[in-house]
Amino acid sequence: MFDKLEDLAARSEEIMQELAEPGVSSDPERMTKLLKEQSALQPIIEVYDQFKKNRQTIEDSLALLEEEKDEEMREMLKEELAEARAKEGPLEQKLKILLLPKDPNDSKNVIVEIRAGAGGDEAALFAAEVYRMYIRYAESKRWKSEMISLNENGIGGFKEVTFMISGNGAYSRLKYESGVHRVQRVPETESGGRIHTSTCTVAIMPEAEEIDFHLDLNECRFDVFRASGNGGQCVNTTDSAVRLTHIPTGIVISCQDEKSQLKNKEKALKVLRARLYEMELAKRHDAEAEERRSQIGTGDRSEKIRTYNFPQGRVTDHRIKLTTHRLPEVLNGDLNELIDSLTAADQAAKLLRVSS
């Protein structure tokens, strides 16, 4: 591990020297590539520097203890040594995590699809709440959200909604949210006070660029139609809505959020590219069964991942057996505890696999 860290530290120095060369500023492509590589290395180098300084403190304290006769000074050195030794293990663990293979999609924006599942209108109302939960979480991270398509049920619920969240590390934080979300509560329409169970499915897909996945437009059919539902002055009076059909897979995407037919077409293509890229990733994961087993639910839409229980005010993530009694805060977008725990569990599983 330490040989690899020394190689990375040397590479970081090389990049700094290259960035200082006079010709780099006139080559934007090269400069961007170097800055991106340096940005990826920086967290590792910073922790490695801390580790080396801490190890030096241990060595210096041990050497001074052998020479020092003054009892008061010896006590101070012992305290310093104990502190440094306590830091060594966590720093080494942090380095191991930082050296784990990175998910190439972690820095990407995400396209989120939420669909009402079992439970009729109650499921649609829950789907709308889950949508708002992610929008509030995005706001807390200062990420940008953009509606792509929406199918409402008329009473404030969403039959399905597709939207994009753009921001640094959006996929790395939200990738564990794919799966079935279950709610247990007494619906407003229930006169007998019985608790109902409803579900919605969430799919988190990394935004795929042309470089990630080549989409042959000859395999796509576009139909235009008049938008329906809530809209402004022009939305319902022009053929601005777009229906995109991918002929080989039969995937159909409708987009009518924008007044511009061109913008709706662009959004539909983004969703299609993301879905096809996700399918390609799923194939790779299935082919790499060992790697797949180390992941904490990052893609299976049929997996029941979380329950939101209103009578008990609790949220339970079934993958890591975590329960928190902070239901209102979670639905208000405070997802950090859940996401941090899922990330830690995934990293621990991968570390175990690497060391075994």
**What pLDDT shows up at residue 232?**
44
* Average pLDDT over every residue of 133-157: 92
CA neighbor of 201 nearest in space, from 263, 116, 312, 308: 116
Q: Is the pLDDT of residue 14 over 80?
A: yes
Q: Which of 3-17, 207-221, 277-291 has the lowest mean pLDDT?
A: 277-291
Say if strands 304-309 and 179-185 run parallel, antiparallel, or are unpaired: parallel
pLDDT band, residue 153 (cuts 50/70/90): confident
- Please give the radius of gyration of the chain, using alpha carbons only, rounded to the nearest integer: 26
**What pLDDT shows up at residue 285?**
63
pLDDT tens column, 279-338:
877 776 665 554 444 455 554 556 789 999 999 999 999 999 999 999 999 999 999 999
Q: Is the pLDDT of residue 271 over 60?
A: yes
**What pLDDT shows up at residue 269?**
84
pLDDT tens column, 205-215:
888 876 566 78
**What pLDDT shows up at residue 165?**
95
CA neighbor of 245 nearest in space, from 263, 271, 227: 271
- 274, two tokens: 């993301």
Structural domains of the chain sorted by starting position, each given as residue range(s) with its CATH number in brackets: 2-98 (1.20.58), 110-350 (3.30.70.1660)
Over pLDDT 70: what percentage of the chain?
88
Instruction: Tell me how crowded residue 322 is: count the other CB atoms within 10 A of its CB.
Output: 15
Phi, psi of 150 (to 5 degrees): -150, 130
Q: What is the pTM of this model?
A: 0.70
Q: Is the pLDDT of residue 234 over 90?
A: no
Of the two residues 274 and 288, the one the predictor is more confident about is: 274
**What pLDDT shows up at residue 237?**
47
**What pLDDT shows up at residue 233?**
43
